[in-house]
Amino acid sequence: MSAREFNFDGLVGPTHNYSGLSFGNKASSANAGLASNPRAAALQGLAKMKALADRGFAQAVLPPLARPDFALLARLGFAGTEAQSLGRAARQAPALLSAAWSASSMWTANAATVSPSADTADARVHFTPANLVSKLHRSAEPEATGRVLAAVFPEGPHFAHHAPLPASPQTGDEGAANHTRLCPRAGEAGVEFFVYGASGFDAAAPAPRRFPARQTREASEAVARLHGLDPRRTVFAQQNPDAIDAGVFHNDVIAVGSERVLFCHEKAFVDQAAVLRRLREAFPGELEVIEVPETFVSLADAVESYLFNSQLLARPDGTMMLVVPEECRRNERVARYLEGLATPGGTIREVISFELRESMRNGGGPACLRLRVEMTEAESKAMHPGVLLDEVLYGKLTRWVQAHYRDRLASEDLADPALVTACREALDELSTLLGLGNLYRFQR
């Protein structure tokens, strides 16, 4: 059956800020305390969406979650009026306050794991929101994310929604950032490739020493079971612990795959040759692997440039395009590698870059900002159409950002009740603009 990949980009929320909340994510730590520019961040994300939509790719948008998360603050002992809760948290535990304000839902690659109907036992598209237990600010996302996904993809004959996995470190799940789907062509059955950082139970298994592994093997296996995947076409592999220790906190910082192509660093996986052999055996057809050697691009360069956090997109004529962040042009070795990559007869024919500096400073590149959902025509007709990005929606969202977003946000702003009001007004208008009704709790 024919199908199409849709990219659902997270719209950057009005509270985008740099709070250094993600130990193990080097950009997040390095930029902690910097003033952010939420307006520029949102416009940069929208410009990428628009450019890809203009090139004929199916592009949609997912709304940000409402922040600050007062329920999180209350659970942490900051009760009282909203102003009191903000004030107390600012004085007593600024890191917890930042967590409640984080706009991290923008990185929709972590929203959920999605399996297309061509791979699942009941021929429905399956969604499991990631529990994101590894970081407090991210662990506050899954429930609301599940509501957004259910509003966009109504449960029924086409879409199936699961609850996030139990919120324990042994079942830590980071969603599509640690999951790659490969297939001969959109719509055909493929291989689902799950990459975990450590085992939740096996203390003797290899594990990173410096930075945490966020995804466990047990979580990946649970998602595969829930989605009804065929074990013969499901491959599990462990991420190289040295890569995690070099700052590769998600697999999508070291590998990206699309259709019949896997683009990865040579140090992405434990026992990489065996992993690639298993993938080739499971793949229904000829899998092409572009493996980048350390001598061309070191792990450090991969983390600095986010070369592999690119979007590998199959163009309508079947050739591939790579969407990279501008940082790849700024890194001399990566820029040189990319010059040789796109050739007229080659697999990747074109490389285009985008300025996503605001998101990149928190460790979020082009691939982090999008959740891929492959849908047949019938499935795409069953989804909520209001989030599909066309010229008109792009214009509306751009004007909405310009009207509501600040161009500077610093840590002292997070105690300001006026920012709460401004965010609610913005999101209230957004839910109408996207036709999503009363999506947010504060609207009820």
Q: In the chain, how long is the greatest CA-to-CA distance?
A: 64
Q: Report d(CA 39, CA 409) in Å as an integer.
A: 10
In this chain, which of 6, 8, 11, 18 binds ligand SUG, going by CB under 6 A?
18
3-class DSSP assignment, residue 194: strand
Least Cα distance to 405 among 127, 114, 45 occurs for 45
Count of beta carbons in the 10 Å neighbourhood of residue 95: 13
- Contact flag: residue 127 with ligand SUG (CB under 6 A): no
- Contact flag: residue 250 with ligand SUG (CB under 6 A): yes
In this chain, which of 7, 28, 120, 258 binds ligand SUG, going by CB under 6 A?
28
Active-site residue flag, 250: yes
Q: Report d(CA 128, CA 115) in Å as an integer.
A: 9
Number of residues that bind ligand SUG (CB under 6 A): 22
Nearest approach in angstroms of CB 302 to ligand SUG is 12
Active-site residue flag, 174: yes
In this chain, which of 7, 15, 85, 102 binds ligand SUG, going by CB under 6 A?
102
Are the C-beta atoms of 236 and 218 separated by less than 8 Å?
Answer: no
Which amino acid type is present at position 46? L
- Contact flag: residue 310 with ligand SUG (CB under 6 A): no
Q: Which of 161, 250, 265, 404 is catalytic?
A: 250
Q: Report d(CA 172, CA 97) in Å as an integer.
A: 23
Number of residues written out for the chain: 444
Which residues ranging from 337 to 366 are in contact with ligand SUG (CB under 6 A)?
362-364
Strands of 348-354's sheet, edge to edge? 311-314, 320-325, 348-354
Q: Which is nearer to ligand SUG, 113 or 380 (CB)?
A: 113
- Contact flag: residue 308 with ligand SUG (CB under 6 A): no
Q: Distance of alpha carbon 209 from its chain centroid, rounded?
A: 25
Phi and psi at 145, nearest 5°, equal -60, -40
In this chain, which of 7, 19, 59, 238 binds ligand SUG, going by CB under 6 A?
19
3-class DSSP assignment, residue 130: coil
Active-site residue flag, 368: yes
Q: How many CA atoms lie within 13 A of 312 on its CB side?
A: 26
Q: Which of 141, 174, 192, 374 is catalytic?
A: 174
**Omega of the bond prior to 169 within 30 degrees of 0, cis?**
no
- Contact flag: residue 177 with ligand SUG (CB under 6 A): yes
In this chain, which of 3, 11, 12, 21 binds ligand SUG, going by CB under 6 A?
21
Q: Which is nearer to ligand SUG, 216 or 380 (CB)?
A: 216
In this chain, which of 97, 237, 253, 371 binds ligand SUG, going by CB under 6 A?
253
**Span near ligand SUG by CB under 6 A; candidates 107-115, 286-294, 333-341, 412-420:** 107-115
Place of tokens 């306050």: 97
- Contact flag: residue 26 with ligand SUG (CB under 6 A): no
Nearest approach in angstroms of CB 305 to ligand SUG is 14
Q: Which is nearer to ligand SUG, 49 or 160 (CB)?
A: 49
Which amino acid type is present at position 435? G
Give the burial class of 300: count Cβ atoms within 10 A of its Cβ; 0-12 exposed, 13-18 middle, 19 or more buried. middle
Q: Which is nearer to ligand SUG, 109 or 133 (CB)?
A: 109
Q: How many CA atoms lie within 13 A of 27 on its CB side?
A: 20
Q: Which is nearer to ligand SUG, 158 or 179 (CB)?
A: 179
Q: Which of 183, 328, 368, 423 is catalytic?
A: 368
Q: Which is nearer to ligand SUG, 20 or 285 (CB)?
A: 20
Q: Which is nearer to ligand SUG, 98 or 120 (CB)?
A: 98
- Close Cβ partners of 345 (under 8 Å, ≥ 6 residues apart): none
- Contact flag: residue 130 with ligand SUG (CB under 6 A): no
Site residues, ligand SUG (CB under 6 A): 18-22, 25, 28, 102, 104, 107, 109-110, 135, 138, 177, 250, 252-253, 362-364, 368
| Active site residue ranges | 174, 250, 368
